[in-house]
């Protein structure tokens, strides 16, 4: 256990008069799976957008500290530098693949930065220098590794847009992993998956965490998955944190049950959290 990778302190995001996220604070520990849950419209995706540079937070502090001690203030960085330097890479609720390009190409683009450097900003690549050819082979090998993990090796050269829905979800996760993140942010990775695919996803995430020592932050509605794989759950409602703790704590927390069901009667609450 190496302390916290990401510290969110007093994050607030206002759109005009609407406060989407209100003074939210939580920690994401390195090599843990942290889940953000909450009813629809609670502000979960807004937190993600602030975290990955798509929104500029109204106030608050987002600090990411790498294991080597390097610190980044995410609220001051623009979108692409967060993925590049702070190494926090995200996926999207409505999958965003490069659908006209092949599956393998999607994974190659995720390794753009290192490949660009290896090709000496294209000049070495144009001249066909050995250094670039080696880097490209390594990039393909990394892509092959992840394609095998997510079970897409057969369709490596197919257009990404022709994949089934579940396969596209898996490909997006593989693409994010090819960008070698320290913090993987998944926005509803199980949305629209069938129970079998849910199970595969759980295994994949557990595997990523076990073998690659990276922290995962996920937003998810499927309580079955959240309770099964998370080490730590943050519950938000109307932009504010209402519970923060282990799955067992959150399950028993009356505030959470109220947020999901209003004033509950016992049976329904059991259905949601059990």
Pick one of 33, 147, 214, 234: the residue that binds other proteins (CB under 8 A). 147
Contact track, other proteins, 57-96, x by CB under 8 A = ----------------------xxxxxx----xxxx---x
Q: Does 153 bind other proteins (CB under 8 A)?
A: yes
Which helix (H) or strand (E) segment holds residue 152: the answer is: none
The CA–CA distances, whole Å, from 81 to 11, 54, 74, 113, 205 equal 20, 11, 9, 11, 25
Which listed residue (98, 198, 206, 224) binds other proteins by CB under 8 A?
A: 98
CB of 53 to other proteins, least distance (A): 8
Whole-angstrom distance, CA of residue 19 vs CA of residue 46: 11
Out of 2, 122, 194, 246, the residue judged to bind other proteins by CB under 8 A: 122
Which residue's CB is nearer to other proteins, number 126 or number 248? 126
Q: Does 240 bind other proteins (CB under 8 A)?
A: no
The pair of three-digit structure tokens given for residue 235, joined into one six-digit string? 């519950």
Here the tokens at position 160 are 């990404």
Mention every residue, 6+ apart, whose C-beta is less than 8 A from residue 166.
Answer: 192, 193, 194, 197
Spell out the residues 6+ positions from residue 215 whose beta carbon is closer than 8 angstroms to its own.
Answer: 5, 6, 28, 29, 30, 31, 32, 33, 34, 182, 183, 184, 209
Which residues in the 171-190 window bind other proteins by CB under 8 A?
175-176, 179
Q: Verify binding: residue 157, other proteins, rule CB under 8 A.
A: yes
**Residue closer to other proteins, measured from CB, 12 or 98:** 98
Helix (H, G, I), strand (E, B) or coil at 187: strand
Q: Which residues bind other proteins (CB under 8 A)?
A: 52-54, 79-84, 89-92, 96-102, 104-105, 108-110, 112-113, 115-116, 119, 121-122, 125-126, 136-137, 140, 143-144, 147, 153, 156-159, 175-176, 179
């Amino acid at each position: 256990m190496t302390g916290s990778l990401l510290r969110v302190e007093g994050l607030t995001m206002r759109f005009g008069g609407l406060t989407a996220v209100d003074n939210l604070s939580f920690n994401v520990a390195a090599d843990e799976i942290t889940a953000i849950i909450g009813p629809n419209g609670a502000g979960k995706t807004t937190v993600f957008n602030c975290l990955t540079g798509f929104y500029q937070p109204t106030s608050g502090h987002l600090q990411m500290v790498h294991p080597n001690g390097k610190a980044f203030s995410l609220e001051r960085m623009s979108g692409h530098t967060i993925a590049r330097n702070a190494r926090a890479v995200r996926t999207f609720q409505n999958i965003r693949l490069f659908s006209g390009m092949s599956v393998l190409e999607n994974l190659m683009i995720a390794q753009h930065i290192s490949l660009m450097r290896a090709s000496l900003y294209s000049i070495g690549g144009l001249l066909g220098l050995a250094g670039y050819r080696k880097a490209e082979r390594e990039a393909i090998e990394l892509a092959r590794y992840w394609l095998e993990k997510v079970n897409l090796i057969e369709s490596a050269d197919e257009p990404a847009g022709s994949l089934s829905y579940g396969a596209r979800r898996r490909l997006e996760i593989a693409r994010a992993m090819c960008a070698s993140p320290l913090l993987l942010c998944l926005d509803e990775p199980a949305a629209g998956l069938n129970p079998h695919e849910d199970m595969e996803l759980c295994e994949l995430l557990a595997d990523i965490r076990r073998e690659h020592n990276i922290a995962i932050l996920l937003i998810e509605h499927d309580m079955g998955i959240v309770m099964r794989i998370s080490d730590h759950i943050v519950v938000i409602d109307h932009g504010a944190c209402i519970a923060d703790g282990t799955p067992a704590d959150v399950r028993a927390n009356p505030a959470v049950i109220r947020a999901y069901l209003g004033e509950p009667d016992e049976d329904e609450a059991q259905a949601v959290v059990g």
